[in-house]
Amino acid sequence: MSEHDEIRDLLSLAAAGALSAEEEGRVARHLRECTACSAELEGWQALAAGLRRLPTPQPPAALLERVRASVEWQFAAEAEQRWNRGVLAFTLLFAWTVTLASWPIFRLVSGDMLGWLAPGFGKLWLGLVGYTVVAWLTGGVAAATLAYSRRRERRVA
Amino acid sequence: MIAEAAMSWEVPVGLEAEVAQLRRGDLNALAALLARYQNRLYRYLLRLVREPATAEDLFQQTWLRVAERIRHYDSRRSFEAWLFAVAHNLAIDNLRRIRPESLDEESSQGGAAVERLVSADPPAFDRTLSRERSVRLAAVMAELPVIYRDVLTLRFEEEMKLEEIAEVLGSPLSTVKTRLKRSLDQLRRTLETRFPGEDWQ
């Protein structure tokens, strides 16, 4: 490809302002001597100017209102989610504290009862563990079901 | 030119503060960002999908996605490029769902939606010659494949630098440059065939 053809090939990008400094230099040097390429560049520049001047369509005002409302709703939903997560974390911490503290308190308060229950101590301990596990599992399943149904309701809305 | 563009992108005054406020869930910041970008973003989406109803839907989805992901946005990047990249990805996903074959091949449709692409305003009584040229130019541009429309509108209407366009499209700079050249070649060829001797300024 001759120098002339190579430069000609660069003219569209020159009009688009997309040449490297080195390419720009080559084009400028060639244009000083080549009137055909100068005229060709003018054609590209006219097209580029036309593209820059295409009228801008405006979004409808109702659309902007809709966007504001939907983002507001999303922010509110996120804030509620953050609050729910905080409440859940606090409730979990509180429930575990109560669960773990209940056994020593129970022993402390019911010293006599413990003696009375002594033959069944092993069973009582197992019962407490079983009760705790069942209670937590039930609570977990209920929380997951509630969260799932709420998310589904939100999606439908 | 590219060397110049490699310099850091200028951040418009107030934009950084608005983005920071939006991160904190401030709706006033959303209103400010909407006012700043509403016309450009809507125009960009309309150039890509060509249907106003779809563009409106994508416009809304874009802002919802922005609100959802603004906390993950890296403030060292250009917000504008990030915003348009969100819109670009949503539009391309939408086009892939509707017309999987139209993304990299020449599309035959365009005529019906073309008038709406130019302006939502009713046609002016004293339509000027330059406006007629704009309508024709927009019509031919709308017939180009989406990958060409994409790069043309980002370069000439959004006046983005090649680096920013590459970030929006998620493509290498060399690809953007090649695509820009091909899109201009195809646009000019079509115009010269259809409207010989016309001056497009």
Instruction: Report ipTM for this prediction.
Output: 0.77
Classify burial at B201, counting beta carbons within 10 Å of its beta carbon; exposed 0-12, middle 13-18, buried 19 or more: middle
| Phi and psi torsions of B10, nearest 5° | -75, 135
Nearest CA in chain B to A11: B181
Identify which of A12, A140, A49, A63 has the alpha carbon closest to the alpha carbon of residue B148.
A12
The confidence score (pLDDT) of residue B169 equals 95
A18–B138 CB contact, under 8 Å: no
Where b means 16+ CB within 10 Å and e means fewer, A85-113 reads: eeeeeeeeeeeeeeeeeeeeeeeeeeeee
Interface test with B, best of A71, A72, A83 (most B CBs within 10 A): A71
If you average pLDDT over every residue of chain B, what do you get? 82
How far does the CA of residue B177 sit from the closest CA of chain A (Å)? Answer: 7
Residue A2 in tokens: 């001759």
Cα angle B167, B171, B172; round to 5: 100
pLDDT band at A119 (very low <50, low <70, confident <90, very high): low
| Residue B59, C-beta contacts closer than 8 angstroms, at least 6 positions apart | A59, A63, A67, B41, B42, B45, B87
Of A24, A47, A74, the CB nearest to B68: A74
Q: What average pLDDT score do residues B64-93 get?
A: 92
Q: Is the pTM of this model over 0.80?
A: no
| Contact by Cβ (8 Å): B65, B19 | no
pLDDT band at B39 (very low <50, low <70, confident <90, very high): very high
